[in-house]
Amino acid sequence: MATDTTVPPRTAAALKRYQVMAYVVGVMLLVLVFVAIPLRYGFDVPQVSKVVSPIHGFLYIVYLVTAFDLALKAKFTAKGTLLVLLAGVVPFVSFWAERRVSRRVLAGQPL
């Protein structure tokens, strides 16, 4: 993967924040969907869900802020921005979206 060293520093910093939050939100969503929810509804253990759900909710809001910040700095289209914002709500998609967004931003390609 060739990286473009002409990415403005503010865009590069926004990209790094987005990358971290996409990974964190992706992991938390997997924990919520594949651990907390099955424990709550399959085994009647709601405590894990009561802890994980609000943490994921807070982190998703932080993800939205970082993704929107990157969208503004990298000049995403409205459609690209919306798709990136929604990538945090489907398990595994945030990981795929992070790689795609990172490659395109570093290559200077529109999203």
Q: Using one digit for the tens of pLDDT, what is the confidence trace for 21-55?
A: 999 999 999 999 999 999 999 999 999 999 999 99
Look up the domain containing 66 and give its range: 9-107
Number of domains in the chain: 1
| Cα atoms found within 13 Å of the Cα of residue 81, Cβ hemisphere only | 14
pLDDT exceeds 50 at position 1 = no
What confidence category does residue 5 fall into, taking pLDDT thresholds of 50, 70 and 90? low
In a domain, 1, yes or no: no
Residues 6+ apart with CB under 8 A from 2: 107
What confidence category does residue 4 fall into, taking pLDDT thresholds of 50, 70 and 90? very low
In a domain, 34, yes or no: yes
Q: Pick from 107, 101, 109, 111: which is nearest to 14 by CA?
A: 101
Q: How far from chain centre, in Å, is Cα 20?
A: 8
In a domain, 81, yes or no: yes
In a domain, 49, yes or no: yes
